[in-house]
Structure 1
Amino acid sequence: MSDSSDKKITGKVFVVDDDEAMRSSLRWLIESDGLEVETFESAQKFLESYYPGQAGCLLLDVRMPGMSGLKLQSQLEEREIRAPVIIITGHGDIAMAVKAMKAGARDFIEKPFDDEVLLKAIRRALVVDAAQRESRASQSEILARMAQLTRREQEVMEMVTSGLSNKEIASRLDVSAKTVEAHRARVMEKMEAGSLAELVRMAIICSGTTTPAVE
């Protein structure tokens, strides 16, 4: 069912649905598309089995006995599980599906659904998951480099990436422009940045995070 461009898509599809027949049907459909799948009869069973960090996406029935799909979404948020969520919903559950989307679900598919529509949504979710993982790995690597900067070097990096010139930085820090140039050179070296644009990109990726400075 998939074309050649989908062959590199990886990750497991986690199906959470209390309907045994639906779980079996979804397993067959997803496996027929060459994807790995694991099914769960309840949200609680999923949470007991899943460990953070697994690559994949979540296919979730919005209305289930016990813990509902919306409640599971809340639990995922609390546990910092960032797997993309696709909601499967009946006609009477549209309002709940919309609420789930507002809570972070990537898509919702109405029953009865077209197989290819569902598979395309799953592929998109797996591509998003892979991209998010790559981004988080990149951020971790950049933060590790930033941790090597002294406090003064971090200050210089922040000012440089804010668009200040060496002269303006020197004035703010009450040091010579030559000293700023030396700090800037060390920042570029430690951050492994080949250009100012690359350094700015790193700063954007790590915006909102804090990194202890080397004293």
Structure 2
Amino acid sequence: MIEVAPLVYIVDDDSAFREAIHSWLRSIGCQALSFGSVDEFVKHSRVATPSCLLLDVRMPGRDPFDFQRELHKSQDHIPIIFITGHGNVPMSVRAMKNGAISFLLKPFREQDLLDAIRDGIDQDCSRRQAEQDAADVHACVSLLSRREREILSYVCCGLTNREIAKELGLQEVTIKVHRANAMRKMKTRSVAELVKKIQGIDLLLAK
């Protein structure tokens, strides 16, 4: 599926189902952990690896849909695949509207579950990569001096060194030096690369 084995969490009160899915997942190269309730899952310390959650709709204890909303409010973006033997259309619509990857009715085909897991893992990988990329950009920006941030903000607006020098009342050679240092700290070699890298990042424009 992906180079690093993903981790699939199974939350279902049917022990036979949990064991069967757990065994099948491991046979196709997925790490898996299973729990008999939402509360058991919550108490477990999760690892920082691409993952998704197989969540039964009908279980004793905490309502899975309420739990889905709680995860969303807490900015926990683990992809959720709902599974149930007693589903209906309104229930499916509710789950998908709140961001579920899929809603599968038992008994389901292994391929359908595999496709849903792939979608969930891919989504989690993309999110984690985006967060890492943003963290890397923030780290680069933190190295910039106030003057370098100011100059790069003009660079991103398309101004030339001469135009920036005029705006700031500095010598063009001074702008060139600051700009070169800033581009090095940002690990970029062109304006296009710089603009793409800081897209959506407000720190650069902070004075």
Q: TM-score, normalised by structure 1?
A: 0.81
Q: Which residues of 2 match residues 198-209 of structure 1 at below 5 A?
A: 198-204=193-199, 207-208=200-201
Structure 2, unaligned stretches of length 5 or more? Answer: none
Structure 1, unaligned stretches of length 5 or more? Answer: 1-5
Aligned length: 207
Aligned to 2:53: 58
Q: 1:196 to 1:56 in 2, by over 3 A?
A: same
Q: Which residues of 2 match residues 1-215 of structure 1 at below 5 A?
A: 6=1, 8-51=3-46, 53-90=48-85, 92-204=87-199, 207-208=200-201, 210=203
1:103: Cα distance to partner?
2.1
Residue by residue over 1:68-116, the C-alpha shift from the partner in whole angstroms, topping out at 9 and shown as x without a partner, is 2222222323443222222224453432332222222222223221111
Q: Which range moves more in the overlay, 28-37 or 38-47?
A: 28-37
Question: Are the counterparts in 1 of residues 150 and 205 from structure 2 also a CA contact under 8 Å?
Answer: no
Q: Secondary structure at the match of 2:10?
A: strand
Residue by residue over 1:145-197, the C-alpha shift from the partner in whole angstroms, topping out at 9 and shown as x without a partner, is 11011223223223322434445544544545444333322210111112222
Q: 1:167 to 1:100 in 2, by over 3 A?
A: farther
Give the share of equivalent positions with the same residue, in percent: 37
Give the residue type in structure 2 aligned to 1:129. D
Residue by residue over 1:124-165, the C-alpha shift from the partner in whole angstroms, topping out at 9 and shown as x without a partner, is 322332232222222212211110112232232233224344
1:62: Cα distance to partner?
2.7
Question: Are the counterparts in 2 of residues 9 and 126 from structure 1 also a CA contact under 8 Å?
Answer: no
CA distance in 2, matches of 1:23, 1:120: 19
Question: Are the counterparts in 1 of residues 85 and 105 from structure 2 also a CA contact under 8 Å?
Answer: yes
Question: Are the counterparts in 2 of residues 52 and 80 from structure 1 also a CA contact under 8 Å?
Answer: no
Q: 1:159 to 1:109 in 2, by over 3 A?
A: farther
Question: Are the counterparts in 2 of residues 30 and 36 from structure 1 also a CA contact under 8 Å?
Answer: yes
CA distance in 2, matches of 1:163, 1:90: 58
CA distance in 2, matches of 1:140, 1:80: 17
CA distance in 2, matches of 1:19, 1:209: 48
